[in-house]
Structure 1
Amino acid sequence: MLAGLSALCVLSVAVGTRDVGWDDIAGALRGQVDTIGQATVAARIPRTVLAALAGAALGVAGTIMQGVTRNPLADPGILGVNLGASLAVAVAVAWFGIASMQAYVWVAIAGAGGTAVFVYAVGSLGRGGPTPLKLALAGMATSVAFASLVLAVMLSRGDIAGGLHAWQIGGVGGATFGRMAHVLPFLAVGFAIGLGCARTLNSLALGDEMAAGLGERVAVARGIAAVGAVLLCGATTAICGPIGFVGLIVPHLCRLLMGVDHRWLLPFSALAGACLLVGSDIAGRIIARPGELDVGIVTAFIGAPFFIWIVRRARVRDL
């Protein structure tokens, strides 16, 4: 996985709308921007780093959400968490005039956390509690509603609609290390909480009664793990926009590769998520050359058939 990620990062730096040579790549890595090729590579380096970080964050967040809810359909996009963060940022930009990345991050995390609580509460209503199918349906309904509200906010503010629309698609273009510096502390805390909850997630996978019998405080354990996922989703959405399906695809593929032990599953999900998003970004540059497709569009093309396959494989009535 590490070798694959390294190869994809090299391709991400080398491939794009402009052809560059190895001399330009070597010069840009040394900090030189004397030629157009070197400047092009220098712009691709932070973009590659952001794609890897965002993919790792979404992969780990999806694994945590599936572990906390014991729901094979759990994903920051399907459960509406990404759209909740997106709506919060759109409202804050349109009505309160926020402009700094640091403010974006706090607002996005608050929106992601509020949406996660809301979807879980709605999915818990009725007989049987928060079943996987009820959570998925509640998340999808919330996503549709929030997407409509984001559109309404953009229509009411034509002066900022263009920027919000581009951000709403989800992408890593225009990344800079200065912008990433604002989200790194939140990502670091989210990764630390998520990886630290690996044993707890293993216990929760056995069922609430068994986890309680093993000494876990189930509600507290779920809450702490969910905080890690919300931090990762909110910080990623703030800087990239809502990118869907990464948190759905990656955990399933990693379970096929190395099993269900979260002590291994979480780090593998981080690497696999980074590989998926960097690879999707490269594909977006190649498919639409000389233009580009945002990475959120590419992951949607990959993730939608994968979602259908999971539903058919698990059978909706068994979820």
Structure 2
Amino acid sequence: MGNFLAGKVVAVTGAGRGIGRAVALAAAAEGARVVVNDYGVSVDGVSPTSEVAEGVVKEIEAAGGEAVAVADDVSTMAGGQRVVDTAVSAYGRIDGVVCVAGILRERMLFNMTEEEWDPVVATHLKGTFTVFRAASAVMRKQGAGALIGFTSGNHQGSVSQANYSAAKGGVISLVRSAALGLNRYGVTANAVAPVARTRMSAGVPTELAEMGEPEDVAALVVYLLSDPAREQGVTGQVYTVAGAKIAVWAQPRELRSAYASGGWTPEKIAEILPGSVGVDPMPMLERVEAMRRAAAEGSRPNA
């Protein structure tokens, strides 16, 4: 057992499998008491069971740690609140929350149904909000805490996961909003965009050049939960971890601008915009075209 998180209480959603499980185990191994939350559903969000959360608790206890299971659906306000209430009830405080829970329902945008959109956005985005909301109320009074949301490189866009991409983009904006609003209370907020072998990454249609394991992601999360991360001013950031690589994403900012005296007309925009403002090339479009060509040739492209 380590002591990087000694004395801290951490709640992890989606902690029954994959990255969430690795985070829960790593946090416990570094001295944290852990609330293990998992609704126990399959990748598409159906067939819930409480056994997966309880199984991780047993693993933590067998290794000498302390943990408690909560098999609630965090896409509901009551479920998110129960995760935090369980931490406070069992251990007296909540020092960090890590929102990993997520599902997939793939479909092209022009065929996507409400039943395929709503649960994905609810699990990823609202599920992060419900836990952040409940935890931040406690952390504000404590004067300290860490909120960690999980996003994806797909926040740039996706061919057949508009629901997932929209939710993951929303998580980033939620994290940045939390960082701005809670900084004065000593609470940090960051997002992680993992590249690791999990149930959800198994169907990625490209051979990823940089691919890690859930344990790689867990190491970064433990750091973000720690006092050194807070003391070093790490907040409002989005990090990718892919095996041996850790990268930080740029903050949104304007690239170029143009001004028109007397106001804009469509004709004036058509004349000025291409040369003065232009476009910011979309790397994902190049990937999509490479995938399309590879599919036509019967191969699988590298990403």
Please give the TM-score of this superposition, normalised by the length of structure 1: 0.27
* The structure with more radius of gyration: 2
The structure where strand makes up a greater share of residues is 2
Please give the TM-score of this superposition, normalised by the length of structure 2: 0.28
